[in-house]
Amino acid sequence: MLRSSALLSFAFSGLSVAAQLLSDSCQTALGGIVTNQDTANCLNPSALIPIALNGGNVSIVQPIDNWLTGLCPQASCSNSTLETASRNIVAGCHAEFLSFGLDSNDPLVTDRLVSIVQRYYPAFHSIVCLKNSDTFCITETLRAVETSVVPVTINNIPVLNDLWQRGRIPANVTCSDCEKETFNIITRDYPRPPITTDLNAAFSEQCGAAFVDGSTPSGISQSASTTGPGSNNSAAGVGSFSLLVVGPSVAMAGLAAFVL
C-alpha cells in the first residue's frame, strides 16, 4: 500500500503536533498567532478551539470542517504575515522543532523554515479549500478514514499516523478524486522531474493510469477566496487552546516532505 497520500501527509503531520503537550513558550508564541489580527483572519484559528473543549475521544472532523468553512472565504495570508508568524513560532517553539532535528537557534534553519512556509503555503491553502461537490476534500477524506479505519480523534492520531506511515490506509482513501486533485496541484506547482516521475509511477500502479493524467475530476472545485492577502476587524479568543494553531504550520512541513 502506498504511503504517500498528500492529504493525509499534512493532515496527520499537523494533527500529531496538536496532540502533543507543547511547552509554555510555544503556547505563548501560538497565542500571539490567535490574537494577531492578520493571522486570526487568514488562518481562522479560533474555529479549532472546540477540538480542545470536546476532549480527546470525540471526533474532530466536524470542527475541522467548521474551520475550513470560515477559512476559505477569507483573503489568504501575505508573505509578510507568514514571515512574522513563522519567526515567532520558531523562536517560541524551540524544543518542539528540536524534536524534529531542527535547531531553531540557528539563523540559517530559521530562514529555511520561513522560506518553506512561504513557498508551500499557496498550495496548502489551495488544497485545504478543495471541495468535492459541496464537501471539503479534507472533510471527505477524514470521514473516509473514520469509516474505513478508526474515528479521527486527538487520542487516535498516533495510531492513525502509524497506520499511514506503514501504508495501511485503504486505497478508497488514497485514490479518491480529492487525492487526485491534490496530487495534480503538488506536481503542477512544484515540479521536480526525478521525484515526479517516481510519484507518477507509484500512484499509477496503485490507483490506475487515470490518476496521474493531470485532469481535474468531475465535481472537484476550488473554494479558496480569490481576494489577495488582507485583513478585517475580527479577532479570535486566546487561552490554553492556542496549541491547536500549530497544526497548519507543521502541516506545510508535511507537504514539503511529500514534495522534497
Task: Answer for the pair 256, 116: CB distance below 8 angstroms, yes or no.
Answer: yes
How does strand 130-132 pair with strand 220-222? Answer: antiparallel
Render each residue's pLDDT in the chain as its tens digit; 260 residues: 444 465 665 555 555 555 456 788 888 888 888 888 999 899 998 888 788 778 889 999 999 999 999 999 999 999 999 999 999 999 998 988 888 788 888 999 999 999 999 998 999 899 999 999 999 999 999 999 999 888 999 888 888 878 877 778 888 888 899 999 999 998 888 877 777 788 888 888 888 999 999 999 999 999 998 876 654 433 333 333 333 333 444 444 444 444 44
- State how far the Cα of 45 lies from the Cα of 235, in Å rounded to an integer: 10
Distances (CA, A) of 47 to 9, 44, 83, 260: 22, 6, 22, 31
In this structure, are residues 94 and 146 in contact, taking their beta carbons and an 8 Å threshold? no
Of 259, 241, 134, 240, give the one whose Cα is nearest residue 187.
259
Under 8 Å between Cβ of 93 and 25: yes
In three state form, how does the secondary structure of 210-225 look?
HHHCCCCCCCEEECCC
Which H or E run includes 132?
strand 130-132
Overall residue count recorded for the chain in this entry: 260
Q: Which of 168, 176, 75 is nearest to 135 (CA)?
A: 176
Nearest-CA neighbor of 38 among 2, 92, 69, 83? 83
